[in-house]
């Protein structure tokens, strides 16, 4: 819960941007995890120019390296809001994330301050600002909407110069706030652990670019260009490489932490069980049915044939914070193995067999025990 200063008077309004299900399901790995990387500013919007550096240039170079590292070191799919020096409206950045049904949205920026002594990397999630500093940062990043045509109609009267307008941003992501904070914390800890950066902690502020995303979302301020030493570091190839790898590691750790206990452990157990269960398990197991787990995701996906490579009999269940998707429903382990082969041929290479008894998932080891 965000605590609001009682002295502040604000009007809460609901955004009318329609939520829509996406027509295409980005399924290129068994976890179905998609991250959208957003390089802030671009084109005629240079961002801040502390010490003569260009925020738009640093943000883009760092963002592309983040994506490159993620793609080389994980099976996470990466989508960019821009890959070159071009202007992208704030609401279009969110639309990209929504269109690809992303599991995580990361927006990259560089900070600036009146004092050249201020330094350090920071992470932000959407929320009502809690102090003047956070309001200042949110107003600075939100002011880019003045560079857009028809910004008044695009943003429903939102005025980044008006503190009450920023305060009145409703927490559209309330469902995802906890996961947004977890992601931001993981990245912030990565800054401190891997680069010994000053810990500016995770903060909440009213960023327009985060307002209309329907997934956990984090805005990262790489550091202050107005600090000569830090600006030079962020503008250097060394600094961009180190920062990008650190952020990428944080993103991968967040994904792994989110899914490890509910996916990897199950897969290892299922793979071990498959080696131990003999062909004699072709008999029916009393009260036991088998399904093939295709993927796990932090977001609920719309079940359509084309989303699952035209595999039929797809079911979904929510376990904790994670949604799991299953293929088939058979009563022998051998039939389940045949389904698993079909799933693998369809592209779900890391799919595995799970067992249910009386509609409740059971440890696959119980199937082994029942045959001893």
Structure tokens given for 279: 């062909």
237/303 same-domain check: no
Residues whose CB is less than 8 angstroms from the CB of residue 209 and which lie 6 or more positions away in sequence, other chains included: 38, 40, 90, 93, 94, 107, 141, 142, 219
Confidence (pLDDT) at 70: 96
Position 309 scores a pLDDT of 78
How does strand 314-319 pair with strand 322-330? antiparallel
pLDDT for 141-188, tens place per residue?
Answer: 455 444 555 544 444 444 545 544 443 443 444 567 788 889 999 999
- Note whether 282 and 188 are same-domain residues: no
Q: Is residue 108 part of a domain?
A: yes
Indicate the SS3 state at residue 256: helix
Task: Determine the pLDDT at residue 90.
Answer: 80
Q: Assess whether 179 and 319 both reside in one domain.
A: no
Residue 265 has what pLDDT? Answer: 54
28 vs 33: CA distance, rounded Å: 9
Whole-angstrom distance, CA of residue 263 vs CA of residue 43: 42
Summary mean pLDDT of the chain:
75
Position 7 in a domain? no
Are 83 and 196 part of one and the same domain? Answer: yes
Same domain, yes or no: 205 and 285: no
The residue segments making up the domain with residue 303 are 277-370
- Is 230 inside any structural domain? yes
Which CATH number goes with the domain that contains 340?
3.30.70.1070
Tell me the average pLDDT across 278-283.
Answer: 49
- Looking at the fold, whether 155 and 73 belong to one and the same domain comes out as yes
Regarding whether 288 and 156 lie in a shared domain, the answer is no
Residue appearing with tokens 């941007």 = 17
pLDDT band at 64 (very low <50, low <70, confident <90, very high): very high
- Residue with the larger pLDDT of the pair 206 and 341: 341
* Domain assignment present for 13: no
Task: Name the maximum alpha-carbon separation found in the chain.
Answer: 75
Domain closes at, from 206, 223, 257 = 257
Whole-angstrom Cα distance, residue 115 to residue 207?
A: 23
The answer to whether residues 62 and 164 belong to one domain is yes
Strands 77-80 and 199-205, by their bridges, are: unpaired
What is the pLDDT averaged over residues 83-94? 89
Neighbours of 337 (CB within 10 A): 18
% the chain with pLDDT above 70: 64
Same structural domain, 229 and 328: no
| Same structural domain, 224 and 307 | no
**Among candidates 214, 193, 261, which has minimal Cα distance to 98?**
214
Angstrom distance (rounded) from CA 336 to CA 327 = 10
Identify whether 335 is part of a domain: yes
pLDDT reported for residue 243: 97
Helix orientation angle between 228-235 and 237-259, rounded to the nearest 10 degrees: 80
Distance CA 246, CA 187 (A): 8
What token pair was written down for 157?
A: 């009267």
Q: Does residue 320 carry a pLDDT above 80?
A: no
Whether residue 10 lies inside any domain: the answer is: no
222 and 252 share one domain: yes
139/195 same-domain check: yes
Residue 22 lies in a domain: no
CB 235 within 8 A of CB 53: yes
Q: What is the CATH number of the domain that holds 208?
A: 3.40.630.40
Average pLDDT over residues 336-361: 86
Residue with the larger pLDDT of the pair 279 and 104:
104
Cα distance between residue 341 and residue 318, in whole Å: 25
Instruction: Find tokens 């891997």 and name the residue.
Output: 194
**CA pseudo-torsion sign 268, 271, 275, 281:** positive
Is residue 126 included in any domain, yes or no? yes
The region of weakest confidence among 15-29, 146-160, 254-268, 311-325 is 15-29
The residue among 170 and 51 whose pLDDT is bigger is: 51
Q: Are the C-beta atoms of residues 285 and 366 closer than 8 Å to each other?
A: no
Least confident piece of the model among 155-164, 236-245, 340-349:
155-164
- Report how many domains make up the chain: 2
Residue with the bigger pLDDT between 136 and 251: it is 251
């Amino acid at each position: 819960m965000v605590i609001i200063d009682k002295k502040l008077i604000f009007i809460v309004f609901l955004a009318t941007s329609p939520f829509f299900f996406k027509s295409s399901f980005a399924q290129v790995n068994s976890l179905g995890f998609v991250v959208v990387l957003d390089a802030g500013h671009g084109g005629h919007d240079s961002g801040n120019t502390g010490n003569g550096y260009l925020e738009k240039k640093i943000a883009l170079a760092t963002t592309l390296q983040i994506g490159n590292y993620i793609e080389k070191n994980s099976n996470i799919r990466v989508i960019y809001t821009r890959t070159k020096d071009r202007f992208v409206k704030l609401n279009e950045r969110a639309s990209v994330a929504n269109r690809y049904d992303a599991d995580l949205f990361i927006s990259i920026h560089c900070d600036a301050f009146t004092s050249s002594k201020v330094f350090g990397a920071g992470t932000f999630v959407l929320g009502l600002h809690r102090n003047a500093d956070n309001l200042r940062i949110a107003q600075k990043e939100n002011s880019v909407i003045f560079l857009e045509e028809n910004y008044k109609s695009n943003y429903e009267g939102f005025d980044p110069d008006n503190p009450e307008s920023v305060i009145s941003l409703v927490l559209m992501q309330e469902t995802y706030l906890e996961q947004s904070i977890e992601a931001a914390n993981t990245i912030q800890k990565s800054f401190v652990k891997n680069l010994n950066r000053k810990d500016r902690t995770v903060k909440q502020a009213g960023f327009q670019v985060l307002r209309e995303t329907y997934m956990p979302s984090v805005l990262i301020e790489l550091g202050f260009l107005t600090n000569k030493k830090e600006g030079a570091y962020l503008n250097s190839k060394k600094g961009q490489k180190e920062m990008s790898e650190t952020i990428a590691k944080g993103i991968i750790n967040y994904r792994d932490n989110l899914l490890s206990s509910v996916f990897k452990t199950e897969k290892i157990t299922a793979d071990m069980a498959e080696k131990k269960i003999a062909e004699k398990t072709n008999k029916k197991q009393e009260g036991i049915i088998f399904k093939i787990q295709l993927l796990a995701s932090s977001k609920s996906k719309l079940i359509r044939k084309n989303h699952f490579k035209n595999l039929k009999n797809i079911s979904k269940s929510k376990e904790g914070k994670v949604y799991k998707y299953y293929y088939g429903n058979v009563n022998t382990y051998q039939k389940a193995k045949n389904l698993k082969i079909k799933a693998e041929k369809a592209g779900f290479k890391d799919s595995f067999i799970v067992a249910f008894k009386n509609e409740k998932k059971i440890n696959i080891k119980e199937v082994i025990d029942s045959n001893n």
